[in-house]
Amino acid sequence: MPLDRQRRHVLLVVLVAVTTLVLVAQVGWSSSRSPGRGHRRRDTPAARRALAVSLETCARAIEALTDADADAEVIVLDVPGGRTDSDSAFLDALAAAPPVTLSAVRSNSDGAPIVLGGSDALDIEGVRASDGRFDPDDDGVVRRFDHTLDDDDDDDDDDDDDDDDGGVAATGLVLVPTLPVVVIEQIIGQKLPTDVTGSEGATIDLPGPAGTVTEVSFLSLVSGRIPAEQIAGRVVVVGPTRENSRTPLTQR
């Protein structure tokens, strides 16, 4: 075989090998980004416990947001509840409030999402449960969200929590849309199609690092120190300002 032809043959083989390697790596990476591929949720039990706020205090927060002058468009409570939560003042506040989205990261053995205020809260018109979890990529960074998370594989790091709570899991949340989807459904008053977030999830368009979105302290809210015009007509998310998950803009 002439040298030139032999060289070309080697070049072709090397190029094919390189191309195959890169494409296989990209396919593998794409597959790992697809929803339901076994990522571990990052809502650790310790983080959830740190969010514990009494129902009475939450009721006061809802009342502040329901005030005639304030009147938020949708109230989002990103405060996971316990299975025994029940408080009449909280339920009364929910009943008088504009649409409320309650976040759940666990479900009962019967599949019902565990939310603040318990199952009684979900019987109130205008109150809906949502899946408050995100599905991070393999590197632990949250870049996307889905319409629904289609499986439950977060129990690897939640075993201790399961023991404490008597075997709760998140399997029932497969039927519950994620928090942003429920909020939009409450705003527009109709269901969103399941493909609204695309086949691989919708990429979150982060406005900037933590603190870019207007934040007010919970204490200021419940003590009525937030001007009504700062709330009126807005979607208000009541929850932790320090994220449990990393985003592409999180400082390492």
Contact positions toward other proteins, by CB under 8 A? Answer: 11, 14-15, 17-19, 21-23, 25-27, 29-30, 76, 78, 103, 132, 134, 142, 145, 178-181, 183-184, 187, 192, 196-198, 200, 202-207, 213, 235, 237, 239, 243, 245, 247
Nearer to other proteins, 4 or 110 (CB): 4
Minimum distance, C-beta of residue 2 to other proteins, in the bound complex (Å): 16
Minimum distance, C-beta of residue 133 to other proteins, in the bound complex (Å): 11
Minimum distance, C-beta of residue 248 to other proteins, in the bound complex (Å): 11
Nearer to other proteins, 73 or 165 (CB): 73
| Three-class HEC string of the chain | CCHHHHHHHHHHHHHHHHHHHHHHHHHHHHHHHCCCCCCCCCCCHHHHHHCCCCHHHHHHHHHHHHCCCCCCCEEEECCCCCCCCCCHHHHHHHHHCCCEEEEECCECCCCCECCCCHHHHHCCCCEEEEECCCCCCCCCECCEECCCCCCCCHHHHCHHHHHHHCCCECHHHHHCCEHHHHHHHHHHCCCCCHHHHCCCCEECCCCCCCCCCCCCCHHHHHCCCCCHHHCCCCEEEECCCCCCCECCCCCC
Nearer to other proteins, 12 or 52 (CB): 12
Minimum distance, C-beta of residue 89 to other proteins, in the bound complex (Å): 25
103 - beta bridge partners?
130
Nearer to other proteins, 103 or 107 (CB): 103
Minimum distance, C-beta of residue 187 to other proteins, in the bound complex (Å): 8
Nearer to other proteins, 88 or 230 (CB): 230
Minimum distance, C-beta of residue 21 to other proteins, in the bound complex (Å): 8
Nearer to other proteins, 11 or 46 (CB): 11
